[in-house]
Structure 1
């Protein structure tokens, strides 16, 4: 970001401590002197907007994977919560992540940050109603309304993307060349990046509903452009009717269509639950116990 962390205010740090993880990132294995080592990088060279990070990845010709149906070089958004949060009204008013997700509490005359990190809706008296004097039920309704409207629009983009991927496969099957498909695949990549960006940035539909709507709206436009280009290409390839779409009305049907071996994945999941998960939970409890002792000792001092 080009900022000196030593000059950050106390309130800024109450958000930046969260931004260490709740951000978009990728692992670069080709840094000079660090070849082969997955080095954590934030793609903020051009800025923190969805278009800025998209350009960063495009300039590097970076991809997370290639889509098996459309052959699109895809980007996978991690969880750009901080990037979307800073575009919202709470950030504009100086409200930090911790103010809502780790609000102050008092015990024995001591005021301190609540380290039970959770949704503000689970602790509205301390998280929301310190500033907002409305009834809790009204505040909660406001949150869900924003989230539902965002999801409604995002699902429309999702529908367009599914069709674009399948139509792209049809074009490949009919003999389309890489040159003919290049602009189309870029559109699909950019449209799905916006879909994923809005879905993966946890809480963005509430943290920044205006920016989230802008991002999804851009994705809708780009996805439509991809499908228009596909319709023209398909016509050139001799296909002048709508491409038949599969029945993916349920998760099971969608998994069958893409050839997902769900039984194998379920077996791996059960094995994880039996072996690694108990070990991780025990280690986490041990670390938490040490932290609790340390916290009590510090408060006593």
Structure 2
């Protein structure tokens, strides 16, 4: 008889690194953080490691840990870039006025973390270390070089710069030193020596009573993924990465945290609503599902143990879909066939995605209806409540959409979140209908043709060709110089391409 833990359905792939997640450098709110001490726990401030021994180059471990290293190299096989805006042009409208409406792609493997954040249109085309639209925080999940820089410069020194400042310093993609204490005796002896090397992550875990050092092996394995696979925002003038976990990790608890701060990621270009952009709350949604509640971690499903022909057992670092490694993941706990489990997962996915599309459609209409109301002379006092409903509805959509595999990690919760989002979108549109009637606006409000990404971007006034030209020039002139300087510093191997 299998235990309850073993009887749970395995998580579907979704914890692969989100490539190039970033936010606008627009001022986020009038008072983004009223009290920085509320966010900072001093015991983690300016946490230090031995700079000389933070091994940031992943290739340095290829000889000692060949099986792990070669499996990590397998993340480079995700060469295809999936264009999420082309697949669903509604997203261009939902993120109107925000750089996500220019380019948003499906995640690739850890190997491409630095490459993708350089290439994405959202990071712009800076010409020097003080230009460009993004803060240094956009590097934070991409490289073990980040822990080194925080040690060298302190949190304020690292976060206080522009993204381009560290272009010749952050050059190694997510790898060994992001998760392991590579300088420890335990690691040298072949033990995992798990470590969190980013102070803001330890600070956040403390808020939810998940002290990393006192955690058991299972909780540490889960918390390691919370280095990056979480919701976050950039706090204060220094744009320090901060997790909104003061009240908890549910969609309502994080929303209250943001509302209490009067925080916004950006102002929507159509509706003028004060918007929130969810990042990728994978850790948070995992804790709400049956796997998370029963101690089945990300590693169990996405980095399962494997055995070589000669009997050696190692952790597979080619993070991906558990169904691609079924015998070493799902089959360890489940009696059902691969086809049976895939059918269950696909059914859940279809239900969640169907609700998600319905909410997207309602939000698209709400944004255009709000614009029509403004154009007709509506006042801020009239619009305030409707805009807050739009904010809350889209936050619920984005919390679900940005959380990879929510439909597997906690499908019932995902549907509840989307259902409440649909209710709030309906509230917004009902209030807008009253405002539109008051101002003699003909209804229904016309929606332009947004059937393709190109048409949607044109409708939103995005000069995408200009952005592409600028990015191409940046990749041709600036990035090669970054790599040249990194090689001279020994941060990259001399033969790195």
Structure 1 residue 275: Cα displacement: 5.7
Supply the RMSD in Å over aligned alpha carbons: 2.3
Select which of 298, 307, 319 maps to 1:106: 307
* Contact 2:372–2:441 (CA under 8 A) maintained in structure 1: no
Query: What is the SS of the residue equivalent to 1:134?
Result: coil
* Contact 2:212–2:223 (CA under 8 A) maintained in structure 1: no
Residue 171 of structure 1 corresponds to which residue in structure 2? 373
- Asked whether 1:213 is paired with 2:418, we answer no
Residue 195 of structure 1 corresponds to which residue in structure 2? 397
What is the CA–CA distance in structure 2 between the aligned matches of 1:123 and 1:279, rounded to whole Å?
Answer: 40
What is the CA–CA distance in structure 2 between the aligned matches of 1:267 and 1:278, rounded to whole Å?
Answer: 17
Structure 1 residue 63: Cα displacement: 0.6
Residue 261 of structure 2 corresponds to which residue in structure 1? 60
- Asked whether 1:119 is paired with 2:326, we answer no
Query: What is the SS of the residue equivalent to 1:4?
Result: coil
Structure 1 residue 28: Cα displacement: 0.9
Note the residue ranges of structure 1 that are not aligned, 5 or more in a row.
Answer: 30-35, 290-301
Q: 1:123/1:163 Cα in 2 relative to 1: closer, same or farther (>3 Å)? A: same
Q: How does 1:78-89 map to 2 (within 5 A)?
A: 78-89=279-290
Structure 1 residue 272: Cα displacement: 5.5
- Asked whether 1:141 is paired with 2:343, we answer yes
- Asked whether 1:14 is paired with 2:215, we answer no
Structure 1 residue 280: Cα displacement: 8.7
- Asked whether 1:243 is paired with 2:445, we answer yes
TM-score (norm 2): 0.54
Structure 1 residue 140: Cα displacement: 2.2
Residue 44 of structure 1 corresponds to which residue in structure 2? 245
Select which of 222, 231, 241 maps to 1:24: 231
What is the CA–CA distance in structure 1 between the aligned matches of 2:445 and 2:334, rounded to whole Å?
Answer: 51
Residue 469 of structure 2 corresponds to which residue in structure 1? 267
Residue 361 of structure 2 corresponds to which residue in structure 1? 159
Which structure is richer in relative contact order (CA contacts within 8 A, separation 6 or more)?
2
Q: 1:170/1:142 Cα in 2 relative to 1: closer, same or farther (>3 Å)? A: same
Q: 1:245/1:79 Cα in 2 relative to 1: closer, same or farther (>3 Å)? A: same
Query: What is the SS of the residue equivalent to 2:213?
Result: helix
What do residues 236-263 of structure 1 show as CA deviations (whole Å, max 9, x unaligned)?
1122532122121222211111011121
Structure 1 residue 279: Cα displacement: 8.3
What do residues 33-61 of structure 1 show as CA deviations (whole Å, max 9, x unaligned)?
xxx32222110111110010001001101
What do residues 192-243 of structure 1 show as CA deviations (whole Å, max 9, x unaligned)?
0011110001111111111111111110000000000000111111225321
What is the CA–CA distance in structure 2 between the aligned matches of 1:171 and 1:234, rounded to whole Å?
Answer: 6
Note the residue ranges of structure 2 that are not aligned, 5 or more in a row.
Answer: 1-207
What is the CA–CA distance in structure 1 between the aligned matches of 2:377 and 2:209, rounded to whole Å?
Answer: 48
Residue 274 of structure 2 corresponds to which residue in structure 1? 73
TM-score (norm 1): 0.87
What is the CA–CA distance in structure 2 between the aligned matches of 1:181 and 1:92, rounded to whole Å?
Answer: 41
Deviates more, 1:239-248 or 1:68-77: 239-248
Q: 1:50/1:275 Cα in 2 relative to 1: closer, same or farther (>3 Å)? A: farther
Query: What is the SS of the residue equivalent to 2:229?
Result: coil
Residue 169 of structure 2 corresponds to which residue in structure 1? none
Residue 454 of structure 2 corresponds to which residue in structure 1? 252
